[in-house]
Amino acid sequence: MSIPFPEVEGELRQPSLLRRFAAMIYDGFLVVAIWMCAGFAAVALNQGEAVSGAQIPLLQTVQFLLTFAFYAYFWIRLGQTLGMQAWKLRIQTLDGRHISLRQALIRFMTAIVSLACLGLGFFWMLFSANKATWHDSFSETQLVLLPK
């Protein structure tokens, strides 16, 4: 029951690996800002003391969940994070619709595995017939380059 995106003029192509990485770096700055806000809140809740000991895994879990929430919100609602908007990229289903929460979760978790394997899941697109990364394939989504 996903919503189709409005039609765009011209053919949608697969973006280059460089363009994907540029959008990731842009979004990375936003994610670090979110982590910093979570850290500031944790310190404030800890009466101004640094987070330590058993509190660290809790803070890391909150940061992980906030990161997923950031990506899931933008992917599901708009099809684009802010970095993707800047680089004219959009995430969609294979038939051109908004992705689901399930697809966002699969994409997010598989992208982490892709990065953990020294980026192999991303570089896979250079050898894939349909230019798909691991997280594209497993989540049945595609990243497209929007026309100017």
pLDDT in tens, 83-139: 999 999 999 999 999 999 999 999 999 999 999 999 999 999 999 988 999 999 999
Count structural domains, the chain: 1
Other CB atoms within 10 Å distance of the CB of residue 36: 11
Q: Domain limits at 119? A: 17-145
Q: Does some domain include residue 7?
A: no
Contacts of 34 (CB under 8 A, 6+ apart): 63, 66, 67, 70
DSSP characters over 56-96: HHHHHHHHHHHHHHHHHHHHHHTS--HHHHHTTEEEEETTS
pLDDT at position 47: 85
Is residue 45 pLDDT above 80, yes or no?
Answer: yes
CB 10 within 8 A of CB 133: no
Q: Does some domain include residue 115?
A: yes
Q: Does some domain include residue 8?
A: no
Whether the full predicted model's pTM is greater than 0.75, yes or no, is yes
